[in-house]
Chain A
Amino acid sequence: MSIVAAKRALFALLLSSAIAAPSAAQDVSAVALRPIDRATVRIVSVRGLDIRAVQGRRTRVARVLANPLTSHGSGVAITPELVLTARHVVWGADAWAVFPPGASTPIAARPVYVDPVHDIAFLQVDRALSHHVPLPEARQLTMSERVSVSGYPLDVREPIPAAASGEVSRVTRLGELHLTMSVNPGHSGGPVIDGEGRIVGIVSARGRPERGVEGLVIAVTLPNVLAARAHVPSERLRFGEADRDLAQAIALLISEDDLADQMNAIGPIVQRMAARQDVDANRDVLVAGLAWNTLLELLEARSARAPEQLPPADQQTGRFLHQSARLLATRALHQGPHIRRRFPIVRAIALGHLDTEAQRPAPFR
C-alpha cells in the first residue's frame, strides 16, 4: 500500500470513528439518570498483584502478567468531596480510586472514617464531584414501602450505574434493614432510596442463593449512617501528584484501552513515580505492574520476544518500560518486604524475566 493510500485508509478509519462516536454517546444517554444515579460513584480498591502465567498469543513465549487483585463497589456522594460507601468495599486495601458516572478518569480517594460497628465508610475525594445527594433526616420506613438502589454491579468497567428495586421487608432486632430485591456483586455501598429520591440506607450484603436465600438485601439504616457521619473529621485530607498518578494507574490496570492510548498514558506516570524521593512500596509496585503489563502487550503486538526484537520505532519505549518496571519493583522490594506476599508478581518483574522458560544457568553456586 502506498503512503497516500495508507493516509486515505487512516482518514477513512478516523471518519468512521467520528461517525460512530455520537451513536455510542446516544446509547449512553438512552436511559436518563436520576439525581441519585448521577451522585452514585464506582469505587475500585486494589489489594495486590498476583501472578498470571500466560502464553504469548503471537510469540508463544511463556510470560507472567501482573493480575490486579481488585474489588469494586459503589458509593454515593453526600457532599461534593465526601463519598458514603460500605466498609467492606474499602478495607484491606492500600489504594482506592473513585469514578463518577460515565467517567473513565479516576479521582484519587482515601477513607476518612471507617465505622468499627456497622458496614459504613466515608471516602474523601481529591476533587469536587459534580453531583451529590445530601443525607436527609431519618424517618420511619413503612413495611412494603417501595425502594430502589443504584450501583455498579458485575463488570468493573461499566461506567453507568444500574438500578434495582424492591420493597422494605423489615428492620431486624440487630438493626439491619432487610429489603426484598435482587442485587449483584458491585452493588455494595450503593445508596438505597425511597420513592422521593431520598437516601434511606446503603447496601451492605445480599442473601446467598447457594444457601437457599434469594431476593434478600441487607442494608445499613440511615440512623446508623447519620451517627457515623458525625465522626467524620472536619479536617480535609491533602492529595498530591502521587495520589493522582496512583488513581490513574488503577484505572489503567482495569481498563481495556488500546495499546497506543495505554502507552501514552503510562509514560509520564512511570517517569514521575521513578523520580519520586518519597518512596512508597505499594505505589511503586502497582506502577511497576502496569509498566510490565504494557510492555508484554507491546511485545505481543509486535511479535517480539524481548525489547531488542521490537521495531526500531518501539525499541526505546520497550526498553524504558522494561527498565522502569524493574527499577520500581526492585525499589519496592527494598522498601516494603510485605509486598512479596500481597504482590507476588514483584519477583518476576524485579528479575525481569520476559520469557519464564528461557534457558539460562541456575543462579546457585
Chain B
Amino acid sequence: MSLRLLCIATFVCLLALGCGRRRVNYQPTGPQVAGQQGWAQPRIAQPGQAVTPQDGWMWAEINPRGLGLACRMPATPRYEQRIGREDDGAFYRSVSARVTVPYGNFGVIVTEWEGGIVGDPLDAAHDLANTVFSEQQLTERRSKRLDVAGFYGREDTGVGPNGAFVALRQFVGARRIYVAFAIVARAHGPLGSAEAFMSSIRLDTGDAIFPVGGSSERASAIFVPETDFAVRMPPLSSRRTEDLTIGDYTLTTHSFVAETPGARLRVRVIDLPERADLEVVQEITQGLALGQLGAPVSASGFPGNAFTRTSGNVAIDGRLFITASRMYVIEAARPSTQPASALAREFFESFRIL
C-alpha cells in the first residue's frame, strides 16, 4: 500500500507544482489581523475531535522563510523548488515540502507569482481537486468550504483504490496558492496524524485576499471571488456563511460586515435555488423583510431596487440586485437622525457584480 500512497502523493505534488502553468487567481494584499500575530488558522472540520501526533515520531515545525505558511509535519521534510514563467512573462515559484513516513505521505506546496495572481483562483483550485480525484480514481469524495480569515479555503477528501485516505486542502491568498495533502492508511492513528497535520496549518494574513479586522474607517477594495462581487468598504469585522430558511427554501447566505462608529455596512449574498422563477424570487425577497422596494437601480447591468427601512433609531439604506443564481443585498445602517455618509455613498457606488 505504501507504494500506492507514494504514487498519489507524487501525483499531487506534480500537479500542484505545475499549477503555475495554469492561469490562476488573485486579490489584494491586506493588513495583518490584529491579535492573531499575523497568522490565520483554518478551523478544522470537527473542533471537538482530539488529535495527537503519532506516538514515537518527532513532529517538525515547518516555517519556510517568505512562503507565508507554517505547519507541523511528522518528520523533517524534503524541499523542492520549481521556477517557471507564465504566458505573459511573469515568473512563478512553487516550493514543496514533503514527508514520507511508514503510515503515509504529507506535503505542502506553495506557489507564488511575480505581480500576483491573475485569472480565477477558485476555478484553478477546483480543477486541481477534480484532476487528482479523477486521475487517481478516488472515491467517497467529500468537498467543503473552509472558513479561514481573509482566505478562500476548500477541502476535498476521498478514498483511493487500495483504501488509502486522501485529504487535500487548498487556500487562496493574494499572491500565493497553498496546497496541503495527506495520504494515510485508514486506521485511527494515521487518520489522527492527518488531522493534526491539516489543523496545524497557519497562513500569514499579510497575504489575505481581503482585509479582515482592524478599526479603519477608510474604505478599501474588497473582492470575494467565490461570491463574485467587489466593493469598497472598511476592513471586515465579520464574515459568516450560514443557512437561511425562508418558506420551503433553505438558502446558503454569505454575510460580510464592516462596522465604523457612524455606520454599519453589510453585503449579503444569497444563493438562489436552481431554476428559481420570478415567484420564488419574490417569495424570498418578501422573506428577507427588506422593507418597501423603491427606485430601480442596476449594478454591472444586473437589475435591482433601492430600499430604505427604519428600525428604532436606525435607518437602513440598501440595494437589492438579482442575477440568475444569486441575490445581493447591500445595506448601510446609520442613526436615523443623520444623513447618509460619504462612506455609504462610496459603498453603494463601488458595488460591482463580476
Q: What residues make up the interface of A, taking CB atoms closer than 8 Å to B?
A: 45, 51, 53, 62, 64, 87, 90-94, 96, 111-117, 121, 231-233, 281-282, 333-338, 340-348, 350-351, 353, 355-358, 362-365
Segment touching A, from B39-47, B98-106, B194-202, B295-303: B295-303
Q: What residues make up the interface of B, taking CB atoms closer than 8 Å to A?
A: 23, 25-28, 66, 83, 85, 87-91, 93, 112-120, 174, 209-210, 221, 223, 225, 230, 278, 281, 295-296, 298, 300-304, 322-323, 352-354
Roughly how many angstroms separate A348 CA and B66 CA in the complex, as a whole number?
23
Q: Is the CB of A344 within 8 A of B118?
A: yes
Q: Is the CB of B354 within 8 A of A114?
A: no
Residue of B90, B303, B353 touching A116 (CB-CB under 8 A): B303
Roughly how many angstroms separate A264 CA and B311 CA in the complex, as a whole number?
57
Could you say which residues of chain B place their CB within 8 Å of the CB of A51? Answer: 23, 87-88, 118
Q: Is the CB of B300 within 8 A of A341?
A: no
Q: Is the CB of A345 within 8 A of B88?
A: yes
Q: Which residue of A lies closest to B26 (CB)?
A: A340
Roughly how many angstroms separate A62 CA and B354 CA in the complex, as a whole number?
30
Q: Is the CB of A351 within 8 A of B281?
A: no
Roughly how many angstroms separate A112 CA and B296 CA in the complex, as a whole number?
8
- Can you give 29 contacting A-B residue pairs, CB < 8 Å? A45-B301, A51-B23, A51-B88, A90-B301, A93-B300, A96-B301, A111-B301, A113-B296, A114-B298, A114-B303, A116-B303, A116-B304, A336-B230, A337-B27, A337-B28, A337-B223, A337-B230, A338-B221, A338-B352, A338-B354, A341-B119, A344-B23, A347-B113, A347-B115, A348-B89, A348-B90, A350-B115, A351-B88, A353-B88
Roughly how many angstroms separate A114 CA and B353 CA in the complex, as a whole number?
14
Could you say which residues of chain A place their CB within 8 Å of the CB of B298? Answer: 111-114
Roughly how many angstroms separate A51 CA and B26 CA in the complex, as a whole number?
15
Could you say which residues of chain B place their CB within 8 Å of the CB of A351? Answer: 88-90, 114-115
Q: Is the CB of A340 within 8 A of B27?
A: yes
Could you say which residues of chain B place their CB within 8 Å of the CB of A363? Answer: 91, 114
In the assembled complex, the CB of A288 is this many whole angstroms from the nearest CB of chain B, namely: 14
In the assembled complex, the CB of B285 is this many whole angstroms from the nearest CB of chain A, namely: 10
Roughly how many angstroms separate A114 CA and B299 CA in the complex, as a whole number?
10
Roughly how many angstroms separate A90 CA and B303 CA in the complex, as a whole number?
11
Q: Is the CB of B89 within 8 A of A358?
A: yes
- With A53-B87, A231-B296 as contacts: A341 and B301 at CB distance below 8 Å: no
Q: A90-B301, A92-B302 are in contact. List 7 more A-B contacts (CB 8 A).
A: A64-B87, A338-B223, A341-B118, A345-B118, A356-B89, A358-B89, A364-B91
Residue of B66, B89, B296, B300 touching A94 (CB-CB under 8 A): B300
Could you say which residues of chain B place their CB within 8 Å of the CB of A358? Answer: 89
Roughly how many angstroms separate A117 CA and B300 CA in the complex, as a whole number?
17
- With A92-B301, A111-B298, A114-B298 as contacts: A365 and B66 at CB distance below 8 Å: yes
Residue of A116, A333, A353 touching B116 (CB-CB under 8 A): A333
Q: Is the CB of B230 within 8 A of A353?
A: no
Residue of A333, A344, A365 touching B119 (CB-CB under 8 A): A344
Could you say which residues of chain A place their CB within 8 Å of the CB of B323? Answer: 91
Roughly how many angstroms separate A343 CA and B118 CA in the complex, as a whole number?
8
Residue of A94, A346, A353 touching B118 (CB-CB under 8 A): A346
Q: Is the CB of A347 within 8 A of B83?
A: no
- With A116-B278, A348-B90, A364-B91 as contacts: A340 and B296 at CB distance below 8 Å: no
Could you say which residues of chain B place their CB within 8 Å of the CB of A117? Answer: 278
Could you say which residues of chain B place their CB within 8 Å of the CB of A93? Answer: 300-301
Q: Is the CB of A357 within 8 A of B88?
A: no
- With A233-B295, A364-B93 as contacts: A87 and B300 at CB distance below 8 Å: no
In the assembled complex, the CB of A83 is this many whole angstroms from the nearest CB of chain B, namely: 13
Roughly how many angstroms separate A304 CA and B116 CA in the complex, as a whole number?
29
Roughly how many angstroms separate A96 CA and B90 CA in the complex, as a whole number?
31
Q: Is the CB of B301 within 8 A of A91?
A: yes
- Of B89, B112, B119, B223, which is in contact with the most chain A CB atoms at under 10 Å from its CB? B89
Q: Which residue of B lies closest to A235 (CB)?
A: B295
Could you say which residues of chain B place their CB within 8 Å of the CB of A116? Answer: 278, 281, 303-304, 322
- Of A91, A121, A343, which is in contact with the most chain B CB atoms at under 10 Å from its CB? A91
Q: Is the CB of A121 within 8 A of B301?
A: yes
Roughly how many angstroms separate A362 CA and B295 CA in the complex, as a whole number?
53
In the assembled complex, the CB of A345 is this many whole angstroms from the nearest CB of chain B, namely: 7
Roughly how many angstroms separate A351 CA and B296 CA in the complex, as a whole number?
41
Residue of A334, A346, A356 touching B87 (CB-CB under 8 A): A356
Roughly how many angstroms separate A93 CA and B323 CA in the complex, as a whole number?
13
Roughly how many angstroms separate A50 CA and B174 CA in the complex, as a whole number?
20
Could you say which residues of chain B place their CB within 8 Å of the CB of A355? Answer: 89
In the assembled complex, the CB of A243 is this many whole angstroms from the nearest CB of chain B, namely: 14
In the assembled complex, the CB of A54 is this many whole angstroms from the nearest CB of chain B, namely: 10
Roughly how many angstroms separate A27 CA and B45 CA in the complex, as a whole number?
70
Roughly how many angstroms separate A353 CA and B118 CA in the complex, as a whole number?
15
In the assembled complex, the CB of B82 is this many whole angstroms from the nearest CB of chain A, namely: 11
In the assembled complex, the CB of A281 is this many whole angstroms from the nearest CB of chain B, namely: 8
Q: Is the CB of B303 within 8 A of A341?
A: no
- With A92-B301, A353-B89 as contacts: A347 and B230 at CB distance below 8 Å: no
Q: Is the CB of B303 within 8 A of A115?
A: yes
- Of B88, B119, B230, B303, which is in contact with the most chain A CB atoms at under 10 Å from its CB? B88
Residue of B85, B174, B281 touching A356 (CB-CB under 8 A): B85
Could you say which residues of chain A place their CB within 8 Å of the CB of B301? Answer: 45, 87, 90-93, 96, 111, 114, 121
Roughly how many angstroms separate A179 CA and B87 CA in the complex, as a whole number?
46
